[in-house]
Chains A and B, each alone.
Chain A
């Protein structure tokens, strides 16, 4: 399984400072921070695991640009994951409503919006 098209699109060309870390640290990061956020998006917001994973990756991308290192990163990320999850749910519902109205059935795997990640980011900026 790979990160989705929208996750990759949002990450492309992003030059981020990073430090060299070992696999143990990343494994721990996965267990301590990534998976709890994926589970939150899945079970609190009713997303599929794949959508939840993409939302969390989106949140991390936003964090690179916007996270205040002196603040509370965990709370900030939880807030962003909640916000992005709600947005995704809302947009999915809106699209389903439109599809029903116009008798249109999207092909499986077709993205809801061509620039979904940019859309989410813009939404987040509007409300933050």
Chain B
């Protein structure tokens, strides 16, 4: 029976009693370990050590510690040579079986090698963290989704592979979430195959984490929350094995809160988001900090605290850092416009929505454009411009269909059908309801047995759509939306 973590504390008194005044084996001396490590270093340089799966002895653990100390601190090679040597030892360590590693010794050694190796290449940990999360100013060139490689071979042939790929994914996420989801999943599976090597140090884990993160994020955009959660968990596991883990884990934390937001758990979001904002600020992730404040505003809005939400969005609008983030600025303006419209400040709202339209179009943010059309429809409906509202809702449905956001398509159809009923066009309204209901049920957008759905289906079957059931269903989804 192996000693567990909880046994540790219980065994200490016995250990002290037994060892008092007695010899305790401490393995190789520091000098002997260093001597053997120097010999192993020569063998490694000559390519005479093959990394193989195998359990290592306690003495070899000391030698490996000494080897890492020699290569990184005691007798390091200059610049890129250090990175090459550290990378070779990193690969060696990744293959060995480090028995009884309750202390995470092997991981500590690998992290130390990776940190020193990246630093030797000019990537100190904070810089690498910001670069990997695209907060740095050295983002690689823009690429298109079709340039995203589909397998490990073509991936490895890219010049700045992992960072370049991540940049492509970030830039394509808003425009083509469905396509990105499919490609990122294929690439993840390709990298996950046993024995596949990619990049140096923690690059494989970083890229797999990033791919899983994008799959999870796009699943959320596409309305598949269960898959989104699963993939975000995968991303977290992978990111934990990178030296830049705090940066990525903060991002995953944000993505998980967006899922809570989608599920209507606004109080939870409002409770946790201030801590996340502080973390982003401490890590120098300015954009993510602003995104989190935007999520805070959206949660306030969803929780019915419109005045607080409006104030937060007004503050964000004035943020100088937002000027360079076109998509996020568009979302801030779009939502502020929606709140102003709800308060019947139509002129100001129209101005903001117009500006948001220009911004979304400039970056091809299709789901942003779809949301904007929905907001314009609601604003027109409030003003009694039913024909205009119906046109805007139809445009929103088309836009959401184009980006494959099924749950949003269904929600938009319900808004459209309400407007059509008000306009005295019940046949068209029933047609929209019939198209929306299957998605609402398949995607579990309402709890099982939700009465309004059954009432609505029955009323449509009798060709007399029930406006009250429609309103109840729409209001339920609005709280989730």
Contact present for B16 and A78 (CB under 8 Å): no
* Complex: A33 Cα to B19 Cα, angstroms: 14
Given the interface pairs A35-B58, A43-B68, the reply to whether A18 lies near B17 with Cβ below 8 Å is yes
From A14, A18, A20, A69, residue with most partner B Cβ within 10 Å: A18
Partner of A3 from the list B2, B20, B66 (CB cut-off 8 Å) is B20
Closest to A47 in B: B30
Considering the chains assembled together, what is the distance between the CA atoms of A23 and B65 in angstroms?
A: 28
Assess whether B14 is in contact with A64, with CB atoms less than 8 Å apart: no
- Among B20, B26, B62, B105, which residue has its beta carbon within 8 angstroms of that of A8? B20
Asked, given contacts A25-B3, A33-B103, A39-B61, whether A73 binds B23 with beta carbons under 8 Å apart, the answer is no
Q: Is the CB of B105 within 8 A of A36?
A: yes
Q: Are B8 and A33 in contact (CB under 8 A)?
A: yes
- Please indicate the chain A residues that have their CB under 8 angstroms from the CB of B17 in the complex: 16, 18
Main secondary structure of the interface of B (DSSP, over half): helix
Is B196 engaged at the interface, CB distance under 8 Å to the other chain? Answer: no
Residue B69 lies at the interface, judged by CB distance under 8 Å to chain A? yes
Shortest A20–chain B CB gap in Å is 7
B5 adjacent to A60 (CB under 8 Å): no
The proximity string for B residues 41-79 relative to A, scoring 1 for CB distances below 8 Å and 0 otherwise, is 000000000000000001001100110110000000000
A28 touches B65 (CB 8 A): no
For A16, the chain B residues whose CB sits under 8 A away are: 13, 16-17
Q: Mark B11-45, 1 if CB is under 8 A from A, else 0.
A: 11111111111111111111000000000000000
Is B26 a contact of A64 with CB atoms below 8 Å? no
What is the minimal beta-carbon distance from A46 to any residue of chain B, in angstroms? Answer: 8
Assess A19 versus B100: contact at CB under 8 Å? Given A1-B26, A73-B8.
no
Contacts of B21 in A (CB 8 A): 2-3, 8
B-facing residues in A28-74 (Cβ within 8 Å): 28-40, 42-43, 48-50, 52-53, 57, 60-61, 63-64, 67, 69, 72-74
In angstroms, Cα B15 to Cα A16, docked, is 11
Residue numbers in A under 8 Å from B100 (CB-CB): 28, 31-32
A25 to B65 CA separation, bound complex (whole angstroms): 26
Q: Is B102 in contact with chain A by the CB < 8 A criterion?
A: yes
Residues of A within 8 A of B28 (CB): 49
Assembled-state Cα–Cα distance A36/B103 (Å)? 7
Q: Which residues of B contact A74 (CB under 8 A)?
A: 5, 8, 102-103
Q: Is A26 an interface residue when CB atoms closer than 8 A count as contact?
A: yes
Closest Cβ of chain A: how far from B93's Cβ, in Å?
14
Cross-chain contact A29 with B11 (CB below 8 angstroms)? yes
Are A73 and B20 neighbours in the complex by a CB distance under 8 Å? Answer: no
- Residues in A whose Cβ lies below 8 Å from that of B318: none
Q: Looking at chain A, what size class is its interface with the partner chain?
A: 35 or more
Residue picked from B5, B11, B66, B102, most chain A C-beta under 10 Å: B11
Q: Which residues of A contact B29 (CB under 8 A)?
A: 48-49
Q: Which residues of B contact A36 (CB under 8 A)?
A: 101-103, 105
B10, B20, B24, B30, most chain A CB atoms within 10 A: B24
A53 in contact with B22 (CB, 8 Å): no
Given A29-B3, A32-B102, A43 contacting B69 (CB threshold 8 A): yes
Determine the residue in chain B with the shortest Cβ distance to A63: B12
- Bound complex: CA of A61 vs CA of B19, how far in Å? 12
Residues of A contacting B105 with CB < 8 Å?
36, 39-40
- Give the distance to chain A from B479, nearest Cβ to Cβ, in Å: 40
- Measured in the bound complex, the distance between the Cα atoms of B18 and A42 in whole Å is 23
With both chains docked as a complex, state the minimum distance between the C-beta of B56 and any C-beta of chain A, in angstroms: 13
A37 vs B12: C-alpha distance in the bound complex, in angstroms?
13
Q: Determine the distance from Cα of A15 to Cα of B108 in the docked complex, in whole angstroms.
A: 35
Determine how close the nearest CB of chain A comes to the CB of B228; give it in whole angstroms.
31
In the complex, what distance in Å separates the CA atom of A1 from the CA atom of B25?
Answer: 8
Note all chain B residues with C-beta closer than 8 A to A122.
Answer: none
Q: Is there an interface contact between B22 and A28, defined as CB atoms closer than 8 Å?
A: no
Q: Evaluate whether A28 and B19 lie within 8 angstroms (CB atoms) in the complex, with A17-B13, A36-B105 already known.
A: no
The answer to whether A3 and B3 have CB atoms under 8 Å apart is: no
Alpha-carbon separation in the docked complex, A29 to B3 (Å): 7
A34 / chain B contacts, CB cutoff of 8 Å:
15, 24
CA distance A31 to B69 in the complex (A): 22
A49 engages B23 (CB within 8 Å)? no
Tell me whether B30 and A48 are in contact (CB under 8 A).
yes
What's the Cα separation between A46 and B27 when bound, in Å?
Answer: 16
Contact indicator per residue, chain A 59-103, by CB within 8 Å of chain B (1) or not (0)? 011011001010011100110000000000000000000000000
Min CB–CB distance B80 → chain A (angstroms): 25
Q: How far is B12's CA from A89's CA once the two chains are assembled, in angstroms?
A: 25
| Residues of B close to A29: CB separation below 8 A | 3, 8, 11, 15
Interchain CA distance A6-B296 in the complex, whole Å: 56
Contact partners of B101 in chain A: CB under 8 A: 36
- Tell me the minimal C-beta distance from A1 to chain B in angstroms: 5
How long is the Cα–Cα vector from A57 to B68 in the complex, in angstroms? Answer: 25
Listed A/B pairs (29) with beta-carbon separation below 8 Å: A1-B26, A2-B21, A2-B22, A3-B21, A8-B20, A8-B21, A11-B16, A26-B15, A29-B15, A31-B58, A31-B100, A33-B8, A33-B103, A36-B102, A38-B26, A40-B108, A43-B66, A48-B30, A49-B27, A49-B29, A50-B26, A60-B16, A63-B9, A64-B13, A67-B9, A69-B6, A74-B103, A77-B8, A78-B103
| Chain A residues at the B interface, C-beta cutoff of 8 Å | 1-3, 8, 11, 14, 16-21, 25-26, 28-40, 42-43, 48-50, 52-53, 57, 60-61, 63-64, 67, 69, 72-74, 77-78
Told that A39-B27, A57-B24 touch, could you supply 13 new A-B pairs with CB distance under 8 A? A1-B24, A16-B17, A19-B14, A28-B100, A29-B3, A31-B100, A34-B24, A35-B61, A36-B105, A49-B26, A49-B27, A50-B26, A73-B8
